[in-house]
Amino acid sequence: MNSEKILDSSRSIQKKFSPFITLPNKLVSNTRKGPLSGIMVSVKDNICTKTKGMQTTAGSKILEGYIPPFNATCIDRVLEAGGTILGKTAMDEFGFGTFSVNCAYGIPKNPLDPERSCGGSSGGAACVAATADFPHVALAESTGGSISCPAAFTGTVGLTPTYGLVSRWGLIDYANSLDKIGCMGKTVKDVAKLLSVIAGHDPKDSTSLQVGKQDYTKHLKVSVKGMRIGVPKEYFEGVDERVSKAVWGAVGKLESMGAALTEISLPHTKYALPAYYIIAMAEASTNLAKYAGMRYGLHKELKGNFDEYFSSVRTNGFGEEAKRRIILGTFARMAGYRDAYYLKALKVRTKVIEDFKQAFRKFDVLAAPTMPLVAPKFDEISKLSPIEVYMMDILTVAPNLAGIPMISVPAGTVDKMPVGLHLMADHLQEGKILQAANSYAQ
Ligand code: GLN
């Protein structure tokens, strides 16, 4: 397909499902030869691109019109590998959400049923991955589940790498100790290919791991025979029974291919959700302090004193959920509450990591449902309280707190909507989840 046809097709996807924040007027394909030659790469809008006319907003009005003077490291790597940047995809403001309904530039609709959510916060990325009729992969990002959730809800594949494997240079921070750039696509092979291009040490990111390049697609040929898979029983509590059934069916398939299944326990699972939200919001509230109408994005006529000016810009520029998180995060960090909330949450995080470390002494991979339900309808979401929305992340926050790699692959349907099988492995064991995911998908 030539660039004009690809752009036409993207425009028609945009018309039907609104997954893009920015699509270029003209698509210039990258002529460089490499592993991503001929492949369109859509970019979640919190990843900086210096392309003229392509703003980077992180889904927020406060960054409207911002064109960064540099590319994120992952963008440079995609370009060096021959990939073409297709456009910027819709997301919950700064990644704050589970359903991509906290978006300042239009809410992406689920292509399988436009009355339902694509999941969040990388909803736009998932929607393009599900609908593109041309070679495509998506750069997405997860803090607490933003790649796995939309993959599960749209029947696509979403890979969240080990924290630090992919450079965060040029990623607009949500919560620095949790943010990870990852990959979404139609197949396990697509995400493995993109990961091979973007992974590996970057001196510009001080949290980047000292890991060299490797070809992750080589793991796709290995069978799951003899693989030890743990199934944590806590990950089925409160899950829609039909979703549980589909996931047990999927792990049963892996067993029939020669993997050894064992039911296990990760006892600190129930504490992961409150700990995650305290840590994520505390970090987010500090990160958002810089958006004050001075250096980038939204600014107004300088009127009144600094406080008045800053608050009028922030009142106009931030959406409701961002404001909620600034208030809650600031509260958790206040001198009198720090020990009771923030420091306690950090201790819980260590316990959650220990649960996983212990499990990975005996098992190669852990398997669970990705989300406790299938993609909900927008009118159901509008009835949920903020806390009820946060609870939906119960299955994805623990592995994100631990910084371990995870992949969501489609595993059957409920009400004609896809269910996600979530596979998790120890730090830097991306190969194992790719191996299991690909065997299952075959
Ligand atoms: N839903 C979670 C949150 O709102 C995770 C989102 C994400 O990973 N960016 O924090």
72 has a pLDDT exceeding 90: yes
Which whole number is the average pLDDT over 207-224?
97
Evaluate: CB of 121 within 6 angstroms of ligand 1: yes
Q: Do 147 and 184 meet the contact criterion of CB atoms below 8 Å apart?
A: yes
Q: Which two tokens stand for residue 157?
A: 């594949």
Q: What is the pLDDT of residue 295?
A: 87
Q: What is the pLDDT of residue 73?
A: 98
Nearest ligand 1 atom, CA 146 = 8
Q: What is the pLDDT of residue 167?
A: 98
**pTM for the predicted model, two decimal places:** 0.98
pLDDT bracket for residue 54 (50, 70, 90) = very high
Nearest ligand 1 atom, CA 98 = 1
Q: Which two tokens stand for residue 79?
A: 């370009």
* Distance from residue 142's CA to the centre of ligand 1 (Å): 7
Evaluate: CB of 396 within 6 angstroms of ligand 1: no
358 has a pLDDT exceeding 90: yes
The DSSP bridge pattern shows strands 228-232 and 365-369 to be: parallel
pLDDT bracket for residue 81 (50, 70, 90) = very high
Which whole number is the average pLDDT over 225-231?
98
Q: What is the pLDDT of residue 346?
A: 97
pLDDT bracket for residue 329 (50, 70, 90) = very high
> Tens of pLDDT along 394-428?
999 999 999 999 999 999 999 999 999 999 999 99
Q: What is the pLDDT of residue 335?
A: 86
Evaluate: CB of 280 within 6 angstroms of ligand 1: yes
CA distance 332 to 355: 25
Evaluate: CB of 143 within 6 angstroms of ligand 1: yes
97 has a pLDDT exceeding 90: yes
- From the number of C-beta atoms within 10 Å of its C-beta (0-12, 13-18, 19+), residue 255 rates as middle
In sequence order, the 6+-apart residues with CB closer than 8 A to the CB of 34 are: 80, 81, 82, 83, 197
Query: Is 12 strand, coil or helix?
Result: helix
Count helices and strands in the chain by DSSP H and E runs: 14, 11
Q: What is the pLDDT of residue 1?
A: 85
> Tens of pLDDT along 276-321?
999 999 999 999 999 999 888 898 888 889 899 999 999 999 999 9
> Tens of pLDDT along 113-128?
999 999 999 999 999 9
* Owner of token pair 């990325």: 125
**At 389, which CATH number?**
3.90.1300.10
CA distance 422 to 399: 10
* 121 secondary structure, DSSP code: S
Nearest ligand 1 atom, CA 143 = 8
Which whole number is the average pLDDT over 363-375?
98
* Distance from residue 19's CA to the centre of ligand 1 (Å): 18
* Distance from residue 285's CA to the centre of ligand 1 (Å): 14
Domain that holds residue 412: 1-442
Which positions are catalytic? 44, 121, 146
Using alpha carbons, select from 399, 421, 425 the residue that is nearest to residue 145.
399
11 has a pLDDT exceeding 90: yes
Q: What is the pLDDT of residue 180?
A: 98
Q: Whose CA is nearest to atom 5 of ligand 1?
A: 144
Q: What's at 183, amino acid-wise?
A: C
Number of separate domains in the chain:
1
Using alpha carbons, select from 161, 186, 385, 400 the residue that is nearest to residue 280.
400
Evaluate: CB of 356 within 6 angstroms of ligand 1: no
Using alpha carbons, select from 118, 209, 135, 115 the residue that is nearest to residue 168.
209
In which element (H, E) is residue 77 found? helix 73-80
Query: Is 419 strand, coil or helix?
Result: strand
84 has a pLDDT exceeding 90: yes
Evaluate: CB of 269 within 6 angstroms of ligand 1: no
Q: What is the pLDDT of residue 300?
A: 87
* Distance from residue 52's CA to the centre of ligand 1 (Å): 29
Q: Which two tokens stand for residue 285?
A: 């509230």
Q: What is the pLDDT of residue 210?
A: 98
Evaluate: CB of 97 within 6 angstroms of ligand 1: yes
Using alpha carbons, select from 378, 387, 276, 274 the residue that is nearest to residue 324.
387
> Tens of pLDDT along 32-53?
999 999 999 999 999 999 999 9
Which whole number is the average pLDDT over 336-363?
96
Q: What's the whole-number average pLDDT of the chain?
A: 97
Q: What is the pLDDT of residue 92?
A: 98
Share of the chain above pLDDT 70, in %: 100
pLDDT bracket for residue 7 (50, 70, 90) = very high
* Distance from residue 214's CA to the centre of ligand 1 (Å): 29
pLDDT bracket for residue 274 (50, 70, 90) = very high
Q: What is the pLDDT of residue 99?
A: 98
372 has a pLDDT exceeding 90: yes
